[in-house]
Amino acid sequence: MASIRFSVVFFLVSSLYFAPPSSCAGKVTLSLYYETLCPYCSNFIVNYLPKIFDDGLISVVDLELVPYGNARIGPNGTISCQHGRYECLLNTVEACAISAFPDVQVYFKFIYCVEQLVYEHKYMEWESCFPKTGLDSQAIVDCYNSGYGQKLELQFAAQTAALQPPHTYVPWVVVDGQPLYDDYTNFEAYICKAYDGSLPNACGGLAPQEVQVSDESQGCHVSEMIQSPVMEEREAKINMLL
C-alpha cells in the first residue's frame, strides 16, 4: 500500500517538474483607434495593418478596431467629426461592419476596401466594397438606418475618452494597453515582445524601438479643427445605390 502511495506521489511531483510547457498562451490585444478620413489612418490600415494577416501573426492577436478618432459629442448625442459629415457616415458604417460581421477576417476585408478608397481619394465609392467583398449590404443598412450604428459610435466615443494616457492623435495604436506613439508602424515587434508563447516565424528579426513622444507625430491631432456641420441622429439615414 505504501509503495502505491509513493508511486502516486512520485507521478504527481514528476508531472509538475517534467511536464512540457503549455502552448496555450493568451493572445495579445492590438487596438487601433482611428477615424475613417484621416489620411494617416487609411495609410496605416492599407499599408501596414494587413501584415498580420499576410504573415499569420493574426493567430496570436486579438484585433480591436475603434472607428471614432477625434470626433466630439455635442448636445443630444450629436457627433461632429474632424473631417466632416462624410467621415461621421463612414465611421458609423465601419462600426456597423464590425458589429454585423464578428469574424475579424470578414469585417477587416470590408474596412480595408473602404480605407483603400479613402487612400485613393475615392471614398465616395465606398458602396462598391459590398460587391467587391461579397458581403451583404443589408446588414449595414439596417444597422445604420435603425440608429444602432449611432449607439455603437457613442460606445466607441466612451471607449476612446477612457484611454489612459489620453490619445493625442490618430492612428493611436495600443498593444496590451500600452500606446506605441510614433513607433506605431512597428506594431508587430511590440506584439511579438508581448506574446508569452512560442513566437511565430513572423517575429524573426523584429525589435521595438525606443518610444518617442513628439508634437510632430504623423497623425491627425486632437487639437486640429473639428469640421462642421455635425452628423445628427435624425440625419443618420443612407440609401444604398447598389
pLDDT digits (tens, 9 = 90+) for 155-172: 999 999 999 999 999 999
pLDDT digits (tens, 9 = 90+) for 88-144: 999 999 999 999 999 999 999 999 999 999 999 999 999 999 999 999 999 999 999
Q: Confidence band (pLDDT; 50, 70, 90) for 76?
A: confident
CA angle 57, 129, 65 (to 5 degrees): 40
Other CB atoms closer than 10 Å to residue 193's CB: what's the count?
17
User: Contact 30/191 with Cβ under 8 angstroms?
Assistant: yes
* Concatenated DSSP letters of 181-197: GGGGGGHHHHHHHH--S
- Rounded to 5 degrees, φ, ψ at 81 are -110, 150
Closest CA to 59 of 218, 220, 202, 163: 202
* pTM score of the predicted model: 0.83
In angstroms, the CA 226 to CA 237 distance is 22
